Amino acid sequence: MSKQGEHKQEFNDRREKDLLRHILKTSLSYKLWVGFLILVILIGTYGYYRQLKYGLIVTAMRDYTSWGIYISNFVFFVAISLVGSLFSSILKLNKNEWSKPLTRISEIIAVSAIICAIVIIIVDMGRPDRFFYVIKYLRIQSPIIWDVIIISTYLVISLILLYTSLLPDVALCRDRLTAVPKWKKKLYRIMAINWHNDPKQVAMLQKVTKILAISVLPVAFAIHTVTSWLFATTWRPGWDSTNLGPYFVSGAFMAGAAAIIIAMYFIRKFINLNAYITESHFDKMGKLLVLLSLVYLYFNINEYLGPAFKMVGVEGEHITELFVGKYAPMYWFVQLGGLVLPIVLLLFKGMRRSLPISIISTFIILGAWFKRFLIVIPSLQHPYLPIQGVDESYLHYNPTWEEWTITLASFAWFLLIITVLIKLFPIIPIQKHEHVSKRHPILNFQK
Amino acid sequence: MKTTIINIIWILKISWSLLFIFFNFHMVLGQEDESMEDAKIALDFVADTDSKFIVATATNSNNEPIEDLELYFYVKRSFSNLPIGDIFNATDENGTVKIEFPNDLPGDSEGNVTILVKVIDSDLYNDLTIETIKKWGVPSLPPDQFQEKRSLWAAAANAPIPLILIISALIFSIWFIIFYIIYMFFKISKIEIINSKSY
């Protein structure tokens, strides 16, 4: 929409203007950003075209390392998607009002992450055309089937969760935004499903929100626990652990909270939402992040202390490889740079300001990604049966450029979905269909 | 003047060389095209009480036997072709080669197996594949689902009952909630504008 279009638009109050303005105005930096993401996706598409043409041989995955960075990336995206339930369920049920403006950001991130997780798992299949065989020849005994079921369920729940919170705002967009293209008007009209703030409608929506807040939590826990069972039910060192479910779930909440902080930083900066996403939000998110990181640290200690104390057989080899071997630099970067140091730094108030906390969160996200790499790959390289007489390439795993470009493209998809959703809808809830305290400074912001 | 003549000589030399290479290249290609011909393979299946044999006879376009032609015998399996016979199976002076077919190869439910005979990378004959279906395999009956014990490693139909019940209950309860919410949205959409609040 041109600047002229923006001038044609009239708003009722400042809150409406602040939160709807970005839908009308398309800046050059937005176009450049979208163009850059599309470029990364195109390069990844070429890598995927080569993978489809020549098969999985273009990747570095072989008989032992049969799950490479695709699966690490899949686990990472599933982890990030849990953040939707953190805000829409845990914080909401605990009646935290400060977190409400951040709910939609978290739901958008959750939807985007779960879509990318599904896409990346199909990319990992050598013959994606056979995906429906998974359904056709379904074996309920297989953890992979449990994962397929729970991921599709969580995708639907995440979409409903986002839609539920969006509905009154979409209706507002339908009624207020006159200076938008026809297709957008049509989109808002269809999505608003005859919403007109009728008290009956509001009551029903509140009921839906409550049901969702309660039901999303077990599904969210299940999605990452089942993902951890894909590993825990496979007999390999490092995975043969009863700790894996809570270890994955706690790691997911930490990574998700860090992702929200980074998103908050950029959204605040580029959509000028300083009055809505305040330093106080960053401070509170910082405290929450410390809590989540401490829980994750606890499970990390549990995960490594037992095997490292006993150092039995292949399990011991695996631990040696991580602590002092080939993967030691990555392992210590993840544990210290991505977990211990952020906890220590975030204890200081100054570090919980927007810029430092965003940098710390970036390290947490990097650590979280490499942590999934460390969970998947070194374990696969240490099977319980001895490796004998195999090709040299089977013993190492160095991802090929096709794998990297496809992985980077999945990140670009993730960011593109978020960017487009932010551009289409108000990112901070404008309408207050839920009960909100009159004292609340953010949600009741008026001119 | 002298330089010009030398230059012309060089140009002629290079042109001649290029022409020579080009001409020879075509000669070689032409030779290959003309000299390669199609072989004909006739298969005969001989079975006695104990063993089964495949007898392949190779002839050229004039129906003369081809001697010393390398033939490759395979049986089609799920993921790739299983080689049978010796490592090298070359035809004799009558153009025939005889290989033994293993007695214990599983076939489909009726015992059918697909036998492939191939000519690969021959100097004189084009590549060729002959595919024949023969009832020489051991019939593979589908696992008896009524005999198999219910377990985690059993066929899909024999999953443990508690597992089926737990998973079905979980799926049913969560999807019931999802459909209920969708129904609620449907009801929301049907509420007409009466007493609506202004924004």
pLDDT of residue B20 exceeding 70, the answer is: no
Residue A302 buriedness (CB in 10 A; 0-12 / 13-18 / 19+): middle
pLDDT at residue A141, as a whole number: 92
- Of all residues in chain B, what percent are helix, strand and coil, respectively (each to 5)? 35, 30, 35
- Residue A5, in any domain of the structure: no
pLDDT at residue A17, as a whole number: 81
Domain boundary assignment for chain B: 40-134, 156-189
- Using a CB–CB cutoff of 8 Å, tell me whether A9 touches chain B: no
pLDDT at residue B22, as a whole number: 63
- Using a CB–CB cutoff of 8 Å, tell me whether A138 touches chain B: yes
User: pLDDT category, A438, cuts 50, 70, 90?
Assistant: very low
pLDDT at residue A44, as a whole number: 96
Nearest Cα of chain A lies from the Cα of B167 at a distance, in angstroms, of 8
pLDDT at residue A104, as a whole number: 92
User: pLDDT category, B34, cuts 50, 70, 90?
Assistant: low
- Using a CB–CB cutoff of 8 Å, tell me whether A207 touches chain B: yes
User: pLDDT category, B146, cuts 50, 70, 90?
Assistant: low
Task: Give the nearest chain B residue to A142 (CA atoms).
Answer: B152
pLDDT at residue B194, as a whole number: 60
Residues of B in contact with A15 (CB under 8 A): none
pLDDT at residue A258, as a whole number: 96
- Residue A425, in any domain of the structure: no
pLDDT of residue A442 exceeding 80, the answer is: no
What mean pLDDT comes out for the span A1-27? 71
- Residue A400, in any domain of the structure: no
> How far apart are alpha carbons A405 and A43 in whole angstroms?
6
Q: A346 with A286: CB under 8 angstroms? A: yes
Most confident of A94-103, A301-310, B141-150: A301-310
pLDDT at residue A252, as a whole number: 95
A·B CB contacts under 8 A: 83
pLDDT at residue A353, as a whole number: 95
Q: How much of chain A, in percent, has pLDDT values that exceed 70?
A: 94
pLDDT at residue B25, as a whole number: 55
- Using a CB–CB cutoff of 8 Å, tell me whether B154 touches chain A: yes
What mean pLDDT comes out for the span A185-207? 92
pLDDT at residue A433, as a whole number: 52
pLDDT at residue A13, as a whole number: 76
pLDDT of residue A446 exceeding 50, the answer is: no
Min mean pLDDT across A115-124, A243-252, A267-276 is at A267-276
User: pLDDT category, A2, cuts 50, 70, 90?
Assistant: very low
Task: Give the nearest chain B residue to A199 (CA atoms).
Answer: B196
- Residue A396, in any domain of the structure: no
pLDDT of residue A435 exceeding 70, the answer is: no
pLDDT of residue A24 exceeding 90, the answer is: no
Summarize pLDDT for A125-148 with one digit per residue, the tens. Answer: 988 998 888 888 889 999 999 999
From the CA atom positions of chain A, what is the Rg in Å?
23
The residues, ordered by sequence, that sit 6+ positions from A265 with a Cβ below 8 Å of its Cβ are A282, A354, A355, A358
User: pLDDT category, A272, cuts 50, 70, 90?
Assistant: confident
Nearest to A157 among B167, B178, B197 (CB): B178
- Tokens at residue B174, please? 């969560």
Nearest to B191 among A201, A207, A431 (CB): A201
Domain count, chain A: 1
- Using a CB–CB cutoff of 8 Å, tell me whether B87 touches chain A: no
What mean pLDDT comes out for the span B57-80? 89
SS3 B87: strand
Q: What is the ipTM of this complex?
A: 0.88
What mean pLDDT comes out for the span B52-59? 91
- Residue A47, in any domain of the structure: no
pLDDT at residue B171, as a whole number: 95
Contact A156 B190 (CB under 8 A): no
User: pLDDT category, A14, cuts 50, 70, 90?
Assistant: confident
Helix (H) or strand (E) segment spanning residue B98: strand B96-101
Contact B180 A211 (CB under 8 A): yes
pLDDT at residue A447, as a whole number: 34
- Residue A1, in any domain of the structure: no
- Using a CB–CB cutoff of 8 Å, tell me whether B190 touches chain A: yes
pLDDT of residue B120 exceeding 50, the answer is: yes
> How far apart are alpha carbons A3 and A24 in whole angstroms?
8
pLDDT at residue A346, as a whole number: 96
Nearest Cα of chain B lies from the Cα of A20 at a distance, in angstroms, of 15
Q: How much of chain B, in percent, has pLDDT values that exceed 70?
A: 84
Q: If you ran DSSP here, which 8-state letter would residue B68 be given? A: S
φ, ψ at B91 (rounded to 5°): -70, 150
Summarize pLDDT for A215-229 with one digit per residue, the tens. Answer: 999 999 999 999 999
Q: If you ran DSSP here, which 8-state letter would residue A335 be given? A: I
pLDDT of residue A296 exceeding 50, the answer is: yes
Mean predicted lDDT score pLDDT of chain B: 84
Nearest to A205 among B171, B188, B195 (CB): B188
Question: At the fourth CATH level, which superfamily is domain B40-134?
Answer: Immunoglobulins (2.60.40.10)
Domain range enclosing A186: 66-383
- Tokens at residue B167, please? 């998973």
pLDDT at residue B47, as a whole number: 87
Q: Which one has a higher pLDDT value, A389 or A372? A: A372
- Residue A412, in any domain of the structure: no
Contact B191 A175 (CB under 8 A): no
User: pLDDT category, B23, cuts 50, 70, 90?
Assistant: low
pLDDT at residue A440, as a whole number: 44
Summarize pLDDT for B157-186 with one digit per residue, the tens. Answer: 889 999 999 999 999 999 999 999 999 999
What CATH number does the domain containing A344 carry? 1.20.1630.10
pTM of the model: 0.78
pLDDT at residue A445, as a whole number: 42
Give the neighbor-by-neighbor strand order of the sheet with B40-47. Answer: B40-47, B52-59, B96-101
- Residue A281, in any domain of the structure: yes
Q: Which one has a higher pLDDT value, A179 or A433? A: A179
